[in-house]
Amino acid sequence: MSASLPDIDTLTLAQQVAQMVVVRTCGYLFDHQIPYPDWEATNATMQHLVELGVGGVIFLGGSAAELALRSQQMQAWAKIPLLIAADIEEGVGQRFPGATWFAPPMAISQIARTNPHIAQQYAEQIGAITATEAIAIGINWILAPVVDVNNNPDNPVINVRAFGETPAVVSPLANAFIKGAKAYPVLTTAKHFPGHGDTTTDSHVDLPIIPHDPSRLAEIELAPFVSAIASGVDAVMSAHLLIECWDSQYPVTLSKPILTGQLREKLGFTGLIVTDALMMDAIAKRYGINESPVLAVEAGADILLMPSDPEGAINAVCEAVKSGQISAQRIRESVERIWHAKRQVGGIKIEPSKIALKLAKPESLLAASQILRCSQIVSGTIPLSPSPNGRNLIVVDNLLGSNKFLTEQSPSVALPKSLGYTTVLCDRHTPFDPAPETDNLPTLLQLFIRGNPFRGSSGLTQTGIDWFKKLLSSHNLQALVIYGSPYILEKLTPAIPLEIPCIFSYGQMPQAQTVALHLLFNK
Cβ contact 232:182 at 8 Å? yes
Alpha-carbon span 519 to 523, nearest angstrom: 7
Pairing label, strands 377-379, 502-505? antiparallel
Catalytic residue among 148, 276, 397, 427: 276
In the residue annotation, 204 being an active-site residue is answered as: yes
- Helix or strand or coil: residue 510? helix
Alpha-carbon span 427 to 47, nearest angstrom: 39
Catalytic residue among 192, 196, 204, 240: 204
- Helix or strand or coil: residue 103? coil
Cβ contact 67:28 at 8 Å? no
Q: How many CB atoms lie within 10 A of CB 20?
A: 29
Chain centroid to CA 184: how far?
21
Point out which residues pair with 381 in neighbouring strands.
Answer: none
Alpha-carbon span 332 to 406, nearest angstrom: 48
Alpha-carbon span 19 to 366, nearest angstrom: 40
Alpha-carbon span 68 to 350, nearest angstrom: 7
Q: How many CB atoms lie within 10 A of CB 329?
A: 8
Choose among 331, 148, 330, 282: nearest CA to 223. 148
Alpha-carbon span 159 to 486, nearest angstrom: 9
Task: Please give the span between the terminal C-alpha atoms of the chain, in angstroms, as a whole number.
Answer: 51
Q: How many CB atoms lie within 10 A of CB 278?
A: 29
Choose among 215, 189, 211: nearest CA to 200. 211
| Residue type at position 316 | A
Could you tell me the CA-to-CA distances from 402 to 23, 69, 406, 512 in Å, in that order?
26, 26, 6, 15
Could you tell me the CA-to-CA distances from 46 to 34, 55, 56, 342, 363 in Å, in that order?
13, 12, 11, 20, 36
Cβ contact 142:190 at 8 Å? no
Q: Which residues are part of the catalytic machinery?
A: 204, 276
